[in-house]
Amino acid sequence: MTTPQEELLPSTRRALTHRIAVAQAEGRTPSLVAAVVRGGRTVWHGARTSVDGHGPDENVQYRIGSITKTFTAVLVLRLRDEGLLDLGDPLEKHLPGTGAGEATIAELLAHSGGLAAESPAPWWERTPGSLRPELSDVLGEQPLLHPVGRRHHYSNPGYTLLGALVEKVRDAPWEEVLQREVLDPLGLDRTATRPSAPHAGGWAVHPWADVMLAEPAEDLGRMAPAGQLWSTTGDLARFAVFLTQGDDKVLGAETVREMRAPAAPAEAADVVDGAAYGLGLQIQSQGGRLLVGHSGSLPGFLANLTIGVEDDVAAVVLTNCTSGPLLAGVGADLVRIVAEAEPRIPEPWRPLREVDASVLELAGQWYWGTHAFALRLMPDGGVSLGPLSGQGRRSRFRANGDGSWTGLEGYYAGELLRAVRRADGSVSHLDLGSFVFTRRPYEEGDAVPGGVDPQGWRGIG
């Protein structure tokens, strides 16, 4: 269903244009192109350029660097969803002999496999991939810098290994698998490993003078799964919709939600900055807004994809300079501008068409000790449980179809909630991972802890 505010207001569009104009001018970049997505469709496109009378549109390709990693992560999760591997599997199980096989697939996806950030010299971004024809050339003699699974350490070779894993399991080149399983189903016709017209050229801008130097566009070879792709704002806008909603032709909504959840141990600096990493997606908190996506850079190009999932707004920003605008900040600002100027209009409330009486009787107030909680029925058939007031553990629960529910978030993620009934069928209490919730606090005869004092409730005499 579309809302009356599907098109952006003129004042919002001007604010977006102003933001990218400032970024292009202050960042001294030859061109900058951006798009905003809301409600599953592109609602704004803007461009700024140093060439009079010309501006790139949504079909002009730019190199997107490490946003490629998110595409590679999608391929790996497809293998998991098909039952061909488990994220807890060590790499050695499926791709033996790398020297980094102790790391699990999940740890490689989350950059916590202990691997080095870069491949051995010469600098892989500025030299032909033919110099590193084998995985051993990418990993070097000592691929591990840190204990496996102990810390988040961004690793380009880690995603090279994941690309090789895809090739091994699918018995086909990474590029071919990507085309067949992601790009074609999602209609990303302008995303490819090599550029095709129209595309931007990559430039280095002199730090102390307004002059430029053309940057070479190297084929990354084995490192392609970490950063090879070219794309457009049009295609990445569609990819953002997929990362928000899922698409059963590629990955379901539950799996893309899993990608957006933190999966790597946070370091102190990450906690302060409100940053984390999921399964192929960067996560940050900015101004109280949770943002997911990925940034990218290669010589001559910068790229950013930012999604405000709760606001249902996403932004794509691409530019063709080696260093210039801080695109993560620009993307976050574009999301913020739309979210604050035109807040998301909720769908109309509607009553349930039907409800299970045995579930309805569970709704209402419950006590964990003396702490009051409320259980509410959700429109999707699940339930939520949280404190009636103040702070405390809360979660939504997915119905399992057998009268139980599984926690989806927070402390209760993965924990089982069920109603325990007496012999006569009446509800005794709720059991949540062994925690007992009763209708009254410490009622005589209730489940543990029950009436713990035979004198009952009393004042101090």
Task: Kindly report, residue by residue over 356-396, the tens digit of the pLDDT.
Answer: 999 999 999 999 999 999 999 998 889 999 999 988 899 99
Residues 6+ apart with CB under 8 A from 81: 251, 252, 255
Q: How far is 186 from 131, CA to CA, in rounded Å?
A: 33
pLDDT number for residue 2: 35
Question: How many angstroms separate the Cα of 20 from the Cα of each of 201, 211, 325?
Answer: 19, 21, 9
Residues 223-229, mean pLDDT to the nearest whole number: 97
For the chain, percent of residues with pLDDT exceeding 70: 97
For the chain, percent of residues with pLDDT exceeding 90: 84
Task: Kindly report, residue by residue over 67-80, the tens digit of the pLDDT.
Answer: 999 999 999 999 99
Residue 265 has pLDDT above 70, yes or no: yes
Domain boundary assignment for the chain: 10-341, 357-437
Pick from 144, 143, 130, 145: nearest CA to 224: 130
Q: What are phi and psi of 155, to 5 degrees?
A: -140, 115
Pick from 364, 358, 414, 401: nearest CA to 384: 364
Q: Work out the pLDDT band at 271, boundaries 50, 70, 90.
A: low
Residue 268 has pLDDT above 90, yes or no: no
Q: What is the pTM of this model?
A: 0.90
Residue 61 has pLDDT above 90, yes or no: yes
pLDDT number for residue 272: 57
Q: How far is 326 from 79, CA to CA, in rounded Å?
A: 34
Pick from 167, 66, 148: nearest CA to 106: 148
Question: How many angstroms separate the Cα of 409 from the Cα of each of 110, 163, 413?
Answer: 19, 30, 4
Residue 3 has pLDDT above 60, yes or no: no
pLDDT number for residue 287: 84
Question: How many angstroms separate the Cα of 253 from the Cα of each of 119, 250, 377?
Answer: 34, 10, 21
Residues 160-179, mean pLDDT to the nearest whole number: 98
Residue 217 has pLDDT above 70, yes or no: yes
Q: How far is 338 from 36, CA to CA, in rounded Å?
A: 9
Residue 94 has pLDDT above 80, yes or no: yes
Greatest mean pLDDT range, 145-149, 229-233, 262-266: 229-233
Q: How far is 76 from 85, CA to CA, in rounded Å?
A: 9
Residue 5 has pLDDT above 90, yes or no: no
pLDDT number for residue 281: 97
Q: Peptide bond before 441: cis, by omega within 30 degrees of 0?
A: no
* The residue type at 10: P
Residue 69 CB neighbours (<10 A) = 27
pLDDT number for residue 284: 92
Helices 10-27, 327-341: crossing angle, 10 deg rounding? 170
Residues 204-209, mean pLDDT to the nearest whole number: 95
DSSP class of residue 412 equals G
Q: Peptide bond before 198: cis, by omega within 30 degrees of 0?
A: yes
Question: What is the residue-averaged pLDDT of the chain?
Answer: 93
Residue 1 has pLDDT above 90, yes or no: no
Q: Work out the pLDDT band at 55, boundaries 50, 70, 90.
A: confident
Q: Peptide bond before 449: cis, by omega within 30 degrees of 0?
A: yes
- Per DSSP, the residues of 93-143 read HHSTTSS-TTSBHHHHHTT-S-B-SSPSSSPGGGS-GGG--SHHHHH-S--
Question: At 17, is the secondary structure helix, strand, or coil?
Answer: helix
**Using an 8 Å Cβ cutoff, are 78 and 162 in contact?**
no
Residue appearing with tokens 């990445």: 236
Q: Strand 289-298 vs strand 383-387: parallel, antiparallel, or unpaired?
A: unpaired
CATH number of 10-341: 3.40.710.10
**Using an 8 Å Cβ cutoff, are 206 and 212 in contact?**
yes
Please report, in angstroms and rounded to a whole number, the separation of the first and last CA atoms in the chain. 63
The continuous run of DSSP H or E covering 375 comes out as strand 371-377
Residues 40-47, mean pLDDT to the nearest whole number: 96
Helix residue ranges, H only, 296-439? 327-341, 357-360
**Using an 8 Å Cβ cutoff, are 432 and 385 in contact?**
yes
Residue predicted with more confidence, 453 or 14: 14
Residue 323 has pLDDT above 70, yes or no: yes
Q: Work out the pLDDT band at 54, boundaries 50, 70, 90.
A: confident
